[in-house]
A = this chain, B = another copy of it.
């Protein structure tokens, strides 16, 4: 728990009780988490607080936001030392059509694409959809 406190402080986020709990929750789950997930897990907490906590975490590069095509924003902890904006840290995400969970495949970077003249890429999002390892029974 001291570890978490330190991580937050390092990134310029005051380690309140709520924030520590949310970080811990994210760390325990190996999948991307939505605001609604967190809301369900912390029934006592206020939605807005959770919302703003996630946003703060994102601004301070503690989590990255994931758009998996479901229309629901998901979040997952960043790798230590990750700068989500850099091309090198852009990895792909996998969304399972069966269990509806989304996971980071941090070791799979987004391939570089040669765009037509005039197009300048600053960011990229690659989502694969299908059946995840848990659901494929393998």
Contacts and interface: CB of A to CB of B under 8 A. Distances in A.
A128 B115 contact: yes
B119 A108 contact: no
Contacts of A134: 118
B92 A119 contact: no
Contacts of A125: 69, 125-127, 129
Contacts of A120: 130-131, 136
A130 B123 contact: yes
Contact of A97 (B71, B116, B122, B126): B122
* Stoichiometry, copies per complex: 2
Interface in A48-100: 67, 69, 71, 92, 94, 97
* Most chain B beta-carbon neighbours within 10 Å: one of A110, A118, A122: A118
Contact of A131 (B69, B108, B122): B122
Nearest to A93: B125
A31 to B, nearest CB: 13
Closest CB pairs A-B (n = 6): A118-B133, A122-B130, A118-B138, A123-B129, A121-B130, A120-B131
Given A115-B128, A119-B132, 15 more contacts: A67-B67, A105-B115, A108-B115, A110-B126, A111-B111, A113-B128, A119-B128, A119-B131, A119-B136, A122-B129, A122-B130, A122-B131, A123-B129, A124-B126, A126-B126
